[in-house]
Structure 1
């Protein structure tokens, strides 16, 4: 019996939405599967390198933005993590990690002076996750010839920690959801725009905001010497700075935790990105 996969929608040249033999929808990766006219039947399933079922539609946009090699590296790392941690990870981990790696590489090129500290506390608390973070940085260097800063070991490690917890800040903490809603309102009011809550860019911003709040709650904030870059962004993007400060003030009033300048800088970078994507 020949197994056939029906390719029904192109995402990019190497990624497409498909139907399997049982009619179940999935996203498949494979060299050139997005080239032919849609829909068509793929009989040579050896062309398929990865498949993902029940993928949130928000990630379709992400697949169009992130280079194939980064997605493949992310998938390889997550597969290794499943074995090393011997735990079920959030199924969206491949995409959230790929998004982070792509952003880290872009941020490093654009903000060359940005420094985030390597956390020895995270290393002690989560040694296996830290080792995975170090492996990721080494694999990026080997495959892409890009040297990420040592601090990325910490941030990548926290992705694995969060993936085991379903990337959730506890649902019995309603303050977090309220903070996300009110932070979004601050952005909308500051820039006189309407954020599309169903859009991929908004969901990506919310994910980063969750990480930001979680770092603050666990007293794992970024602390390093980014004074020059912070002052530059504050002077050149005053509205972004005012917006970030308003959100940081809201968080302080709600949780009683102050943001460091480095966390404020990181928040400014994410606010600037969602405002540009929305405008």
Structure 2
């Protein structure tokens, strides 16, 4: 097995016998290795064979940034879900989304920035199997990473598992897609962005819009009495927040739905991440 590209000491890209790209992971498997070197198969702990080059690229970017123990922990959770749900999971989708979420949750925990899951009751009631796996995931995370997260995170993990099984009827999918395109269009032209569609921040934003659009089109709002964090985000990211104001006016006019403060806060955070990463990547291209 020859290495096509080294991402870091623990992650490489290889080609299978058919020439398809695979992402291969293992502790130290690429130490002092370079492209075209042989890979020791005994060091391989996990192989991701994804059908889409886009998914492979996104997963490669993610794994190159995240500690290997976090990735392995996420895979343990996915294996548990695969065993208990008895239904098909979109493996590439959940590998990317859940690993990214767990890593981001760990960063927030270290910075003492917990986020309350205001949909906790609904998740626990509507998706009991997924929520049960979410609770078990907290035990796995504590055992492997020595961090105990709140039950709110069990709800977030459950939502990722629900999304990984999602098989909506085509009219609903088309409606959601149309709405997401409208929001992406507003952000693009309000902030004059040239989206980097293979970047992590863009894909995080799209994932958030998917959940948001399902709630909004179903008229299931998210409301919170705690305005403190919302006010901090509004003051810290004025450009992104102004963009959310425009989105709010669009939704009120076309969907008869008004954003709550919690929804405004999360949209602002995601838009700001896209804005900063897009501008940074644009500057890098100019320098090149």
TM over 0.5: yes
**Is the 2:201–2:270 Cα contact (8 Å) retained in structure 1?**
no
**Residue-by-residue CA offset, 1:108-164 (whole Å, 9 max, x unaligned):** 445726433352232122111001111122222232232323222112111111111
Alpha-carbon distance in structure 2 between the residues aligned to 1:229 and 1:65: 27
Whole-Å separation in 1 of the counterparts to 2:13 and 2:214: 34
Distance 1:63 1:261, change over 3 A: same
Q: Is there any run of 5+ residues in structure 2 with no aligned partner, and where?
A: 280-288
**Corresponding residue number in structure 1 for 2:147:** 146
**Residues 231 and 133 of structure 1: is their aligned pair in 2 closer, same or farther, counting only changes over 3 Å?**
same
Q: Secondary structure at the residue paired with 1:146?
A: coil
Does 1:249 find its partner at 2:249?
Answer: yes
Structure 1 runs (4+) greater than 4 angstroms displaced: 108-111, 168-173, 218-221
Cα pair distance change 1:213/1:169, threshold 3 Å: farther
Q: Measured at CA, do residues 273 and 219 of structure 1 come closer, stay the same or move farther in structure 2, by a change above 3 Å?
A: same
TM-score normalised by structure 2 residue count: 0.85
SS where residue 274 of structure 2 aligns? helix
Aligned to 2:265: 265
Q: Residue in 2 aligned with 1:135?
A: 136
Q: Which moved more, 1:130-139 or 1:142-151?
A: 142-151
Counterpart position of 1:157: 158
Q: Distance in 2 between matches of 1:176 and 1:84?
A: 29
Greater displacement, 91-100 / 53-62: 53-62
1:240–1:272: 8 Å Cα contact kept in structure 2?
yes
Q: Secondary structure at the match of 2:148?
A: coil
In the alignment, which residue of structure 2 is the partner of 1:224?
224
1:120–1:106 CA distance, 2 compared to 1 (3 A):
same
Higher helix proportion: 2
Alignment of 1:9-24 (within 5 A): 9-24=5-20
What is the 5 A alignment of 1:19-58? Answer: 19-35=15-31, 36-42=33-39, 44-54=40-50, 56=55, 57-58=57-58
Distance 2:221 2:103 in 1: 22
Question: How far apart are 1:97 and its partner, in Å?
Answer: 0.4
Unpaired stretches in structure 1, ≥5 consecutive residues: none
Q: 1:209-248 CA deviation, whole Å, 9 max, x = no partner? A: 1112123334554433431111122123222211123223
Q: 2: CA distance between counterparts of 1:39 and 1:114?
A: 44
SS at match of 2:30: coil
